[in-house]
Amino acid sequence: MKEVSVASLRLLMSLADYANPNTTADMLAEQAGVAAEALVAAGLFSPGPKLEMIHAQLSCDSTTAMVEVDFDGTGYCYLHPEDGYIPLPPERLRTWNLNLSRLTALLVQMLGMPASFRPIPLVEGLLWDLGTPRLGRKAIPVLFAVRLSEIGVREQIRRELGLRRGTSPALVLTSGRSIASDITLPTVSRIVPVLNALDRRVSEAKVSPAVLDLARLAALADSRPLYAEAVGGPVQCGPDGAWIRIHERQFTFRRKQAQIVRILYEAWGRGDEWLREEAVLAEAEYDSRRLQDAFKRNVHWREVIEVEDGCCRLRVDDA
């Protein structure tokens, strides 16, 4: 499959973070829309067992009902508590299992690796080697991990990564939507959610093609102290953006405000100071187009962030 939409990639990553990454035909059609058939045709989903129970909507509630063979033995139906026996088209009983091997192959393609390269499983169903793509000016090892929110999974992955000591630090892409700041793994320079690594200049809408921002990944993979976080730097920032210190003045933020601050801090560290407001808010998953909506309860935010003509940056120069 040459490309997937942002919406499809979100669905794939969401499923990949479950111990049993499967879905029903109805849910796949609802969440992937017209792309569902293409995802199946590309091998990203394989058939699972037929449903034995089905959701039934009642006038004031909902319930589940057992799937039965219909009276002539040629099809299926279920007993609706209010409407009696309802026939079921066979396609409604389908389930689909996410094919993690094909998903990792898709990520390899998005990283620009040669077509001949195949992902290497390191921990079955949990960790893969995606190769050493060129990110920026360097060739950087990239791994892909799922279910990092689970302690047991992290332990399995940590043991495998311990065997890689002496190798170049790897960038780890993950299916999770966010990464706890206290997660550390040996021989890893940075853990980055795949959805946070999309090129916002291309992947602006759900129907847009999902494209990885390789330059951003290169900056994130840098194993040096991140973006002038040394004591003497003009700006220091907490790993989650909850605090930022600019020329000895410190400010605190919470939740998505902190995410926005961290995004702008990382951009400042890359030398890419000005970002579009909409792109920053989208990356922080804030449903607005204006920063002032995100910070309306913080009276000091304009001392930290400068906004001009739909773009924003950290207010460092005149701090």
pLDDT digits (tens, 9 = 90+) for 16-40: 999 999 999 989 999 898 899 999 9
For residue 117, pLDDT over 90 is answered with yes
Task: Look at residue 48 in the predicted model and tell me its pLDDT.
Answer: 95
Give domain status of residue 35, yes or no. Answer: yes
Percent of the chain scoring above 90 in pLDDT: 49
Q: Which domain holds residue 178?
A: 100-220
The number of angstroms, rounded, from the C-alpha of 295 to the middle of its chain's C-alpha atoms is 25
Q: Are residues 206 and 264 in the same domain?
A: no
The pLDDT, as a whole number, for residue 212 is 94
Q: What is the mean pLDDT of residues 217-240?
A: 64
Question: What per-residue confidence (pLDDT) applies to 318?
Answer: 54
Distance CA 187, CA 33 (A): 40
Residue 1 is assigned to a structural domain of this protein: no
Q: Is 311 helix (H, G, I), strand (E, B) or coil?
A: strand
Residue 125 has pLDDT above 60, yes or no: yes
Residue 209 lies in a domain: yes
pTM of the model: 0.68
- Is 183 within the bounds of a domain? yes
- Residue 181: band (very low, low, confident or very high) from pLDDT cuts 50, 70, 90: low
Of the candidates 220, 254, 281, which is a domain's last residue? 220
Helix (H, G, I), strand (E, B) or coil at 80: strand
**% of the chain exceeding 70 in pLDDT:** 94
Give the pLDDT score at 231: 42
Indicate if 12 and 63 belong to the same structural domain: yes
Judge whether 172 and 157 are in contact, CB under 8 Å: no
At residue 101, φ and ψ (nearest 5 deg) are: -65, -40
Contact 142, 173 (CB under 8 A): yes
Please tell me whether residues 267 and 293 are part of one structural domain: yes
> CA 160, 163, 166 angle in degrees (round to 5)?
135
For residues 51 and 106, membership in a common domain is answered with: no
Structure-model confidence comparison of residues 319 and 115, the more confident one: 115
**pLDDT reported for residue 182:** 65
Computed over every residue of the chain, the mean pLDDT equals 87
- Report the domain count for the chain: 3
Decide which of 97, 114, 135 is a domain's last residue.
Answer: 97
Q: Please check whether residues 171 and 214 belong to one and the same domain.
A: yes
Ramachandran class of 127: left when φ > 0, alpha when ψ lies in -120 to 50, beta otherwise: beta
Quote the pLDDT of residue 319.
45
- Contact (CB, 8 A) for 115 and 130: no
| CA atoms of 66 and 263, how far apart (whole Å) | 49
16 and 74 belong to one structural domain: yes
Given a cut of 90, whether residue 186 has pLDDT beyond it is: no
Structure tokens at 316: 């460092």
Please determine, for residue 171, whether its predicted confidence score (pLDDT) is greater than 90: yes
pLDDT score for 233: 63
319 within some domain: no
Lowest mean pLDDT among 128-142, 154-168, 178-192: 178-192
Which ranges of the chain does DSSP label H, i.e. alpha helix? 6-16, 25-32, 36-41, 100-110, 151-162, 214-220, 255-270, 277-283, 291-294
pLDDT tops 70 at residue 222: no
Q: Give yes or no: residues 74 and 105 share one domain.
A: no
pLDDT of 79-104, one tens digit each?
Answer: 999 999 999 998 889 999 999 999 99
Q: Which of 69, 97, 125 marks a domain boundary?
A: 97
**HEC profile of 173-206:** EECCCCCCCCCCCCCEEEEEEHHHHECCCCCCCC
